[in-house]
């Protein structure tokens, strides 16, 4: 079987790591493979690679460019494989990174291609800017069938997603049940060597191994640190994207002003290795309000560390179903509404919701925002993770400057974590999310596609999928 794997780029991290680990899992499956991207890979792939410059991020679109991209992909694949691929495995085709990509995919399908579309990130899921960009060529009449290009439906097209929430949303929107596959990422992080160096800290270290972008919810880490000053809390990496650097500076300055024991970007200090930070940590923590697969909920146990922090039930339900226990996670952190300027917060919330819905081209009745705000602040309390940075800062200021009458209690105590689950969780993770199982499942999907009887290509109703993601009860300002 000839296989072409396609992504915009192969820079380190993210989807590149997913592709590299999947290739390793497939190496004994008898496949002839090539990887196509816009430039040279930054990681060793172990299979041939061909550069297709037309795959680079592109904010413009035209019929000519879409046709050129489809032709360039076909030529590159044939050059390496000697014939057209039996299967195209395409990553994040409709995320608004290259506006010609969905139409190019449509052209490939019209010419007989069979495709597995692996979606790591949905533009409908808290990415209104991406969604608006990808919709623009269709609104302007450059391309004509948004539904068929973005979410094609045919017996020779299957989808792979990272969690069962996304799987259910695609099925509800019209993708046949047997053509959507739950394909969790490979979890293969090796344990940190026991004799690895440690990072000296005066207090027990609670480490947040993350790049500190907005949805990682740093304010909640600061709140935990403010309530437990006998621990040293820390993050590993600062944001790369200029979009998030201003918010990151806000948190570093506020922690300094309020004397909250958080060390930022510990992994960027000269001579400091990630392994030494993990080795030194009493526990790992996550306060994120949005994840795709949820590696942060699994890796700590491979490192032999307990995990505490915010639960994301839409993501962790998959893990719990497989027998992984997460006893030190909380579904929300209620704090008294009286600690924030509610009128100002409500105005910012309304503006953010209105902007998000407008970006998605959706109407928003005023009553729905009022109802959402009432539910958000019911019983005089509000989930800290649903606040924006300004309101979170107000809570932090009240907590650090009061004499204990702030009414904020932590839902988890870092001094009393359940370490008994570590060994059992590690065993489940290595079995359920290891490379062998992943490779078998992926090869099975390829075989299914290869034997499917090709049919005409239609599309789902994109509005149904959008509505599945765009719900106010799951609206987080930190993801807007």
From the candidate CATH numbers 3.30.565.10, 3.40.50.300, 3.30.750.24, 3.40.50.2000, the one assigned to the domain spanning 190-330: 3.40.50.2000
What are the two backbone dihedrals, phi and then psi, of residue 21, each rounded to the nearest 5 degrees?
A: -70, -35
Q: Within 10 A of 352 (CB to CB), how many other CB atoms are there?
A: 16
**Residues 85 and 77: beta-carbon distance below 8 Å:** yes
Counted residue by residue, the chain has a size of 480
Q: Within 10 A of 269 (CB to CB), how many other CB atoms are there?
A: 10
**Geometric angle at alpha carbon 228, from 345 and 479, rounded to 5°:** 35
- Report the CATH number of the 2-186+434-468 domain: 3.40.50.2000
Tokens at residue 151, please?
A: 């979410």
**Residues 268 and 238: beta-carbon distance below 8 Å:** yes
**Residues 95 and 21: beta-carbon distance below 8 Å:** no
**Which residues have C-beta within 8 Å of that of residue 365, sequence separation ≥ 6?**
none
pLDDT tens, N- to C-terminus, the chain (480 residues) = 999 999 999 987 789 989 999 999 999 899 999 999 999 998 889 999 999 999 999 999 999 999 999 999 999 999 999 999 999 999 999 999 999 999 999 999 999 999 999 999 999 998 888 999 999 999 999 999 999 999 999 999 999 999 999 999 999 999 999 999 999 999 976 666 555 677 788 899 999 999 999 999 999 999 999 999 999 999 999 998 898 999 999 999 999 999 999 999 999 999 888 989 999 999 999 999 999 899 999 999 999 999 999 999 999 999 999 999 999 999 999 999 999 999 999 999 999 999 989 989 888 877 899 999 999 999 999 999 999 999 999 999 999 998 778 999 999 999 999 999 999 999 999 999 999 999 999 999 999 999 999 999 999 988 899 999 998 988 999 998
Residue with tokens 């969604």: 131
**Residues 40 and 9: beta-carbon distance below 8 Å:** no
Q: Within 10 A of 53 (CB to CB), how many other CB atoms are there?
A: 10
Ordered DSSP codes for 13-74? SHHHHHHHHHHHHHTTS--EEEEEESS--SS--SS-EEE-GGGS-BS---HHHHHHHHHHHH
Q: Where in the chain is the domain with CATH 3.40.50.2000?
A: 2-186+434-468, 190-330
Q: How far apart are CA 173 and CA 246, in angstroms?
A: 37
């Amino acid at each position: 079987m000839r296989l072409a794997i396609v992504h915009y780029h192969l820079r380190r991290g993210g989807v590149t790591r997913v592709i590299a680990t999947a290739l390793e899992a497939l190496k004994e499956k008898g496949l002839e493979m090539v990887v196509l991207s816009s430039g040279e890979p930054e990681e060793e792939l172990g299979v041939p690679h061909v550069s297709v410059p037309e795959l680079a991020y592109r904010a413009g679109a035209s019929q000519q460019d879409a046709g050129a991209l489809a032709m360039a992909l076909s030529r590159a694949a044939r050059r390496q494989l000697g014939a057209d691929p039996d299967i195209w495995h395409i990553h994040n085709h409709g995320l608004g990174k290259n506006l010609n990509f969905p139409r190019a995919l449509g052209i490939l399908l019209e010419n007989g291609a069979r495709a597995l579309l692996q979606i790591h990130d949905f533009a409908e899921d808290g990415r209104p800017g991406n969604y608006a960009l990808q919709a623009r060529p269709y609104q302007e009449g450059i391309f004509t069938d948004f539904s068929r290009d973005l979410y094609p439906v045919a017996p020779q097209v299957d989808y792979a997603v990272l969690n069962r929430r996304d799987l259910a949303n695609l099925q509800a929107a019209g993708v046949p049940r047997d053509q959507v596959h739950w394909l969790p990422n490979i979890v293969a992080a090796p344990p940190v060597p026991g004799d690895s160096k440690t990072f000296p800290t005066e207090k027990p270290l609670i480490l947040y191994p993350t790049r500190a972008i907005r949805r990682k919810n740093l304010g909640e880490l600061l709140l935990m640190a403010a309530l437990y000053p006998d621990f040293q809390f820390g993050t590993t990496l600062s944001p790369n994207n200029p979009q998030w650097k201003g918010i990151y500076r806000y948190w570093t300055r506020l922690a300094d002003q309020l004397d909250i024991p958080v060390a930022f970007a510990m992994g960027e200090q000269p001579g400091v290795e990630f392994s030494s930070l993990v080795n030194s940590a009493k526990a790992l923590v996550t306060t994120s309000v949005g994840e795709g697969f949820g590696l942060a909920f699994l890796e700590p146990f491979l490192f032999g560390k307990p995990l505490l922090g915010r639960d994301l039930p839409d993501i962790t339900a998959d893990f719990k179903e497989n027998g992984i226990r997460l006893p030190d996670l909380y579904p929300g952190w209620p704090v008294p509404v009286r600690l924030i300027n509610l009128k100002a917060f409500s105005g910012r919330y309304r503006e953010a919701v209105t902007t998000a819905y407008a970006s998605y081209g959706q109407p928003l009745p005023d009553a729905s925002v009022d109802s959402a705000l009432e539910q958000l602040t019911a019983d005089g309390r509000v989930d800290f993770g649903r606040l924006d940075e300004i309101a979170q800062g107000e809570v932090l200021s009240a907590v650090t400057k009061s004499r204990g009458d702030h009414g904020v209690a932590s839902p988890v105590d870092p001094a009393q974590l359940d370490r008994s689950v570590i060994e059992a969780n590690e065993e489940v993770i290595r079995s359920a999310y290891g490379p062998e199982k992943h490779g078998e499942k992926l090869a099975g999907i390829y075989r299914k596609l290869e034997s499917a009887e090709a049919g005409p290509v239609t599309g789902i109703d994109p509005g149904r999928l959008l509505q599945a993601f765009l719900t106010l009860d799951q609206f987080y300002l930190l993801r807007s």
